[in-house]
Each structure stands twice: as C-alpha cells, then as structure tokens.
Amino acid sequence: MPRPPSKNFDTAWASLIQKTMMQGSNGRPAGEGWKTVKEFADSCTPKISAAHARNVLHDLIDLGAMDKAKGKNGGHWSIYYRPKM
C-alpha cells in the first residue's frame, strides 16, 4: 500500500502567520458599527469612564453578545467592538 502524501506544514505555518499579521492592519474592521472603548464610553448617557466601559464590553463579550476585532490606527493597535447581529 502506498504511503499517503504528507502535508506541507511549512506552507500551513506561513499561511497562518501571514493571516495573523494581516489581521487588523487596515484600520477599522470591515463593516459598520465598530467602536473603540473610548468611543463607546463617550456615546453613553450619562458618560462613563473608559475603565468602566472596558469592563462592560468584556462582560458582554463573555456573554456572547459582542464581536471583537483588532485594528491598527497609525502606530498603535486598537480593539474594536460591536453588537452581534
């Protein structure tokens, strides 16, 4: 019986690394409704602190009610959030 061809793990690793590096490199994620923690905090009425907003968003992520994505703005990375649709 012939030996099955082996998978090319070098290509798989290179592809995974490329996707990871590309993720978020274009600024805001595609689609509408994405906000940073600061934008979310500023949009709340009454206003809340960024630290409190971060806790609220993390709790919503844990409940499965929010999406989270990373993007690069200028020279720093930002985390963006939006409600799940």
Global pTM? 0.66
* CATH code for position 55: 1.10.10.10
- 70 domain-assigned: yes
Whether the upstream peptide bond of residue 46 has omega within 30° of 0, thus cis, is: yes
- 85 domain-assigned: yes
Q: What is the pLDDT of residues 22-79, one digit of tens each?
A: 554 567 888 889 999 999 999 999 999 999 999 999 999 999 999 999 887 777 888 9
Compute CA 65 distance to the chain's CA centroid, rounded to the nearest angstrom.
14
**Total number of domains in the chain:** 1
- 79 domain-assigned: yes
Which domain does 42 fall in, by range?
31-85
- 62 domain-assigned: yes
- 3 domain-assigned: no
